[in-house]
Amino acid sequence: MTALKVLISDSLSSQAVQVFEDRGLDVTVVSKLSADELADIIHEYDGLAVRSATQVTAGLLDKAPNLKVVGRAGIGVDNIDVKACGGKGVVVMNTPFGNAVTTAEHAIAMIFAVARHIPQASASTHQGKWEKSKFKGVELTGKTLGVIGAGNIGSIVIRKALGLELKVIAYDPFLTEERAIALGVKKVELDELFSSADIITLHVPKTPETANIINADALNKMKKGVLLVNCARGGLIDELALAAALQSGHVAGAALDVLDVEPAKENVLFGLQNLVCTPHLGASTVEAQEKVAVQIAEQMSDFLLTGAISNALNAPNLSAKEAKELAPYLELCQKLGGFAGQLTTDAIKKIKVSFCGDVGQLSLEPLVTQTIQSLLSVSVKSVNLVNARAVAKDRGIKVEISVSDAENYSTLVRVEVETDSRARNLAGTIFNDRPRLVEIKGVRVESEFSNNMLYITNFDKPGAIAFIGSVAAERNINIANMHLGRLSAGGDAVCLLEVSDPVQNEVLQQFKSSKLIADAKYICFDD
């Protein structure tokens, strides 16, 4: 078996290479590639590990038919087109915890630096000056720190700030009152934070909602003499407005580790004496770089080798244990979804997936996603396990999930598909770790999912089965197994044939030509 291949295209700790190699993966390290150079070789790789330099674009993904996962050693994924990855079925992972402490520490250091003019005083002293009176700072104890964003990094900043005897208030739409109490902070609205805080620090991603969250209007709402710190993302602050506020003295000082355009060779803020600026050093410690490199290598290896998903931005998390437990059920959902999809010719309004018995105790979201993907892939070629939910939503398809106690089987998965014209349902179970079809539209059957199957709805009348057998013989169709069932005597019946070879459309039409046959479908499952 050929080893899975991973490309590291940015500078990562050598420990990451060791992790990949220890897990049996073929790893290549080639940093500082141009976009064209990367595009020329990316088709060879199953995984791509990056930091912030490599640009993972839609164009690059078009050249990467084997790519399964992109791992970002760090938090920010500005350089990765996550949506395009989802469209290609590529899982995007990051390491949200590996450099959280380091970044939080840098934010605290920047608060001290801007409050006590440490960089400016150091530069002055190096020049042989002794300007003690020029660099009079402010004491932090008792001041109010406003934290915008109380997630992984923001919460660490909060804990450290409380240890420094700062009063802390926080704005975060996702911060619950219970979590605020546990952190020891007062939850406030943004305008109250602006007007109350002596120091403001930012710890949010850049999104359409947070872009320029600090603008001229926000700055005008702040206390005169406020200190502003940003170690999160460039683009959160309107730099022109901040420059004006620093020049006027309304903002006494700012400390920025990030800028709107990086690397920054020039900026409207450069040269202002009340600005402290560092070149995006938040995560730049030996410890943090090793942590995120090892973490992303472990996450990518787990995914490629076991299907486990950790810290994914476009897929549900799934442990290695869960992946192993779910494996037979994922195959069952794949078969049920594929079977239902091949039977469905109208626009789908609703998909309902029901879990009965033991399967209801497992992680269900991957099973639902697998069902949706397999069902929709019959008509939507671009659907995959990463974007299946989004594709269903875009098409206005309602997805329902239900869990109940066991019925006639210890474990059962039922798929129901509703269209404008009809509702269709089928169910399956696991027998000897293999998926098995046990019900179609309420009719009991017992069948494996073979590669080639004929699904025939017939009327429960004499001669129907004989007619099916005669057409099969005439058309040289080898029947491996036949499964029969009916709802009631004389009503609709089901004939499910496992056959050796694909069935042509003209054969289906011959079956349908009989008054004994209501419908005939060829169902195919590729290995």
280: annotated active-site residue = yes
What pLDDT, on a 0 to 100 scale, did the predictor assign at position 216? 98
Question: How is the beta sheet containing 423-431 ordered, strand by strand?
Answer: 398-404, 348-357, 411-419, 423-431, 434-440, 443-448
CATH of 320-524, one of 3.40.1350.10, 3.30.230.10, 3.30.1330.90, 3.40.190.100: 3.30.1330.90
Q: How far is CA 470 from CA 237, 479, 514, in A?
A: 77, 12, 12
117 pLDDT exceeds 90?
yes
504 vs 108: which has the higher pLDDT: 108
What the block records as the tokens of 491 is 């009503």
Residues above pLDDT 90, as percent of the chain: 65
233: annotated active-site residue = yes
What pLDDT, on a 0 to 100 scale, did the predictor assign at position 313? 83
203: annotated active-site residue = no
The tens digit of pLDDT for each residue in 29-75 reads 998 899 999 999 999 999 999 998 999 999 999 999 999 999 999 88
Token pair 């004929």 is found at 454
Maximum average pLDDT range among 102-116, 164-178, 359-373: 102-116
Q: Which CATH architecture has domain 100-277?
A: 3-Layer(aba) Sandwich (3.40)
Q: Where are the domains of the chain?
A: 5-94+287-306, 100-277, 320-524
238 vs 501: which has the higher pLDDT: 238
Using DSSP's 3-state secondary structure scheme, residue 41 falls into helix
Query: What is the rounded average pLDDT for all residues in the chain?
Result: 91
- Alpha helices of 313-387 — where are they, by DSSP H? 320-343, 365-376
Task: Give CATH for domain 5-94+287-306.
Answer: 3.40.50.720
What the block records as the tokens of 251 is 């903002």
Q: Which residue is catalytic, options 106, 117, 233, 414?
A: 233
Instruction: Return the beta strands (E) in 181-302 as ranges.
Output: 186-187, 199-202, 226-230, 251-256, 275-277
527 pLDDT exceeds 60?
no
Q: How far is CA 234 from CA 264, 323, 512, in A?
A: 11, 38, 65
Q: Which residue is catalytic, options 179, 192, 250, 262?
A: 262
What pLDDT, on a 0 to 100 scale, did the predictor assign at position 416? 95
Least confident stretch, 104-108, 241-245, 489-493: 489-493
What pLDDT, on a 0 to 100 scale, did the predictor assign at position 345? 81
Distance CA 34, CA 512 (A): 59
Distance CA 3, CA 338 (A): 30
Average pLDDT over residues 471-491: 85
Task: Please confirm whether the linkage preceding 263 is cis (ω < 30° from 0).
Answer: yes
- Same CATH fold assignment for domains 5-94+287-306 and 100-277: yes
Please state the pTM of the whole predicted model: 0.67
Band the pLDDT of 492: cuts 50, 70, 90: confident
Q: Which residue is catalytic, options 203, 280, 389, 483?
A: 280
Average pLDDT over residues 283-291: 88
Distance CA 343, CA 188 (A): 54
The tens digit of pLDDT for each residue in 420-445 reads 888 889 999 999 889 999 999 888 88
The tens digit of pLDDT for each residue in 341-386 reads 998 888 899 999 999 999 998 989 889 999 998 999 888 777 877 8
What pLDDT, on a 0 to 100 scale, did the predictor assign at position 76? 80
